[in-house]
Amino acid sequence: MKDHHENESDFDAQFEGKGEIGREIFHVANDQKETLYLDFFPIRKDGSIVSIVEKISNITRIKEKEEENLRIRNLASLGIFISGVAHELNNPLTGMSLTLQNLMNNLSSMDPAFFRKRLEMIKEDLTRAAMIVLDVISFAKPDKLVTTTADIHETIMKAKDSVTWVYPVLSKNTEWEILSEPGMTFQFNPVKMERLFINLFKNSLQAYDYGEGKIKVEVRRTRNMMHIFVEDTAGGIPEDMLDKIFSPFFSKNKSGIGTGLGLSICHSIVREHSGELTVRSYDRRTRFKISLPLVQPKGN
Structural domains in the chain plus CATH codes = 2-58 (no CATH), 71-132 (1.10.287), 148-293 (3.30.565.10)
pLDDT score, position 9: 47
Phi-psi region of 271 (alpha: psi -120 to 50; beta: other; left: phi over 0): alpha
pLDDT score, position 32: 76
- Tell me: pLDDT of 233 over 60: yes
Alpha-carbon gap, residue 121 to 92, rounded angstroms: 10
For residues 168 and 26, the model is more confident at 168
Q: Which of 9-13, 28-32, 132-136, 281-285 shows the lowest mean pLDDT across its residues? A: 9-13
Predicted TM-score of the model (pTM)? 0.63
Alpha-carbon gap, residue 63 to 35, rounded angstroms: 7
pLDDT score, position 14: 53
- Tell me: pLDDT of 18 over 60: no
- Residue 198 CB partners (closer than 8 Å, separation 6+): 131, 159, 162, 163
pLDDT score, position 246: 77
pLDDT score, position 59: 82
Alpha-carbon gap, residue 245 to 237, rounded angstroms: 9
Radius of gyration, CA atoms only, the chain: 28
- Tell me: pLDDT of 107 over 60: yes
Return the top range by mean pLDDT from 63-72, 74-83, 114-123, 168-177: 168-177
Return the top range by mean pLDDT from 50-54, 87-91, 240-244, 278-282: 278-282
Indicate the pairing of strand 48-58 with strand 2-4. antiparallel
pLDDT score, position 207: 85
Q: Categorize the per-residue pLDDT at 273 as very low, low, confident or very high, splitting at 50, 70 and 90.
A: very high
pLDDT score, position 217: 97
pLDDT score, position 289: 97
Alpha-carbon gap, residue 300 to 298, rounded angstroms: 5
Cα angle: 122, vertex 125, 126; to 5 degrees? 85
* Digit-coded pLDDT (tens) for 185-226: 999 999 999 999 998 998 898 888 878 889 999 999 999 999
pLDDT score, position 255: 44
Average pLDDT, whole number, for the chain?
81
- Tell me: pLDDT of 148 over 90: yes
Mean pLDDT of 138-149: 80
CA torsion through residues 232, 234, 238, 244, sign: negative
**In contact, 202 and 162? CB cutoff 8 Å:** no
